[in-house]
């Protein structure tokens, strides 16, 4: 029984050491399993935007600026929001030249009261992706105008 436990611990230790070596190789870019995302050509000026407190029923939007840092033209394949209350707009049929800039306009329909965080996924050059985020808090607007004050006439005298 002791031999079985010893062999199990020895195999487990070997697997842990092997996994750490692979992570180091991938992090330095010299390993065969290096990620294609490491050579990303899309640079985001900002990855997140906080609208702060916004009134209910008032749609808001923000422009995210992107830069093509690659050596060849880049194409935005799709820009998809995590829900229907968030609408991204971008130039769909336009290539972004090397060192060129483009704008992704993200709108949010502030129909529901409360805190929100929404993710937008940018897919470019067929299979690479980046994530941008919008957040904020929608406060409920009064359902009616302020009530009339009958004592206001007393102040005029």
pLDDT at 21 over 90: no
pLDDT tens string 99-136: 999 999 999 999 989 999 999 999 998 789 999 999 99
pTM beyond cutoff 0.85: no
The terminus-to-terminus CA distance of the chain in angstroms comes to: 100
The mean pLDDT value for 16-43 works out to 51
Contact between 138 and 114 (Cβ < 8 Å): yes
pLDDT higher than 60, residue 29: no
Rg (CA), the chain: 26
What pLDDT, on the 0 to 100 scale, is given for residue 151? 72
Rounded CA-CA distance 63/128 in Å is: 21
Closest CA to 70 of 105, 31, 104, 96: 96
Q: What percent of the chain has pLDDT over 90?
A: 56
């Amino acid at each position: 029984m002791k031999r079985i436990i010893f062999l199990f611990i020895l195999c487990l230790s070997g697997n842990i050491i092997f996994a750490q070596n692979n992570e180091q190789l991938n992090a330095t870019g010299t390993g065969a399993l290096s990620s294609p995302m490491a050579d990303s050509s899309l640079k985001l000026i900002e990855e997140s935007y906080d609208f702060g407190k916004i009134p209910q029923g008032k749609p808001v939007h923000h422009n995210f600026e992107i830069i093509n840092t690659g050596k060849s033209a880049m194409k935005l394949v799709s820009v998809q929001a995590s829900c229907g209350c968030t609408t991204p707009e971008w130039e769909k049929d336009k290539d972004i030249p090397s060192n060129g800039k483009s704008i992704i306009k993200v709108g949010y329909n502030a129909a529901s009261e409360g805190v929100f965080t929404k993710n937008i996924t940018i897919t470019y050059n067929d299979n690479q992706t980046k994530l941008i985020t919008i957040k904020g808090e929608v406060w409920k607007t009064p359902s009616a105008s302020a009530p009339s004050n009958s004592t206001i006439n007393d102040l005029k005298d």
